[in-house]
Amino acid sequence: MTPRPLWTSAVLGELSFAALLFGCQSEDGRASHDRLADCASIAHAKCGAITVQEDRGAEPGGRTIRLAVVVVPATGDNPAADPVFVLAGGPGQGAAALAQWVAPRLEAISRVRDLVFVDLRGTGNSALACEFEHYDDLGELLAAEVHPERLAACLASYGEIDLSHYSTATAMDDLDEVREQLGYEQLNLLAVSYGTRAALTYLRRYPDRVRSMVLDGVVPLDHNVYSAIPASSERARAPVLGAGRAGPDIDGAFHGRERGL
């Protein structure tokens, strides 16, 4: 399934504010993009991968992960040294995988600062490649049924991958290594939904590296987002289904499909 960005019109409408916040110039100095190549799908962007240890506490030589990275260099004549790192939602969306759709929306910011998109470990092109849901089956998706046998097959397919190292905190340590390897001293964070939780985690771990943050749809660190998802999904779904049942055309079409008409 091709990933699509979950950037709402409200988020995109707030980007003008983000452009103002990120627009103040910082000291001169540019990072190096020598390790990246021209992107095939994004004009004027650089693409590549940065390798990190799966177990960040282990000795060098252990299992590694390649993190997909997209950098859109600033287009202005006097760009700032500190870039904007974009953190996607989910959890599970890869920012680099969404860059071709999101980057054009951030053109005002990219005139002043580099834009950096990273597929964090377990997401996008840095993903644990296993899909256990049938995304083209709407009935299955709405049923919210758990299929233990599919989950077991996924886990078995991972082989030597140690899932205990795929956490938000570890992913933010990766993000700081990407920042360092790209040559940036400080960064600005633009985050949406789950990405706000990641941004807050990064701020807690690396406060001196963060110049500014724009958070949309904040997920606080003390909020158990996973246990709240079922009730939140039901609250969002119920009015939509209720409106459909109340409309005779929609209700008739739905039941007609059920009967195979």
Q: Give the tens place of pLDDT for each residue, 113-167.
A: 999 999 999 998 887 777 777 777 877 777 767 788 888 888 888 888 888 999 9
pLDDT digits (tens, 9 = 90+) for 214-254: 999 888 888 787 787 778 878 887 887 777 677 666 666 65
The pLDDT of residue 110 is above 70 = yes
How many of the other CB atoms lie within 10 Å of CB of 239?
A: 9
Q: DSSP letter at 207?
A: G
What pLDDT score was predicted for residue 15?
A: 45
What pLDDT score does 133 carry?
73
Tokens of 81: 């040294």
Q: In whole angstroms, give the CA distance from residue 238 to residue 241.
A: 5
Separation of alpha carbons 92 and 5, rounded Å? 11
User: For the residues 197-204, what does the mean pLDDT come to?
Assistant: 96
Could you read off the pLDDT of 14-44 as tens digits, one per residue?
A: 444 444 444 444 444 456 677 789 998 888 8
- Count Cα atoms within 13 angstroms, Cβ side, for 144: 6
In this predicted model, which residue has the larger pLDDT, 113 or 5? Answer: 113
pLDDT of residue 9: 41
Which residues make beta-bridge pairs with 48? 69
Range with lowest mean pLDDT among 62-66, 134-138, 179-183: 134-138
Calculate the average pLDDT of the chain: 82
Looking at residue 32, its pLDDT comes to 62
Angstrom distance (rounded) from CA 45 to CA 212: 23
Q: Which residue has the higher pLDDT, 211 or 141?
A: 211
Other CB atoms within a 10 A radius of the CB of residue 68 amount to 22
Sheet holding 210-216, edge to edge: 37-38, 46-53, 64-72, 115-118, 84-87, 187-192, 210-216
Q: What percent of the chain has pLDDT over 90?
A: 45
Tell me the residue ranges of DSSP E strands in the chain: 37-38, 46-53, 64-72, 84-87, 115-118, 187-192, 210-216
Distance CA 24, CA 112 (A): 8
Please state whether beta strands 84-87 and 115-118 pair in parallel, antiparallel, or not at all (unpaired).
parallel
The helix or strand, by DSSP H or E, that contains position 179, with its residue range, turns out to be helix 168-182
Residue 13: pLDDT band (50, 70, 90) is very low
Q: How far is CA 178 from CA 1, 48, 234, in A?
A: 27, 11, 38
Tell which wins on pLDDT, 260 or 183: 183
Rg (CA), the chain: 21
* DSSP H helices in 103-137: 107-110
As a whole number of angstroms, the distance between CA 18 and CA 106 comes to 9
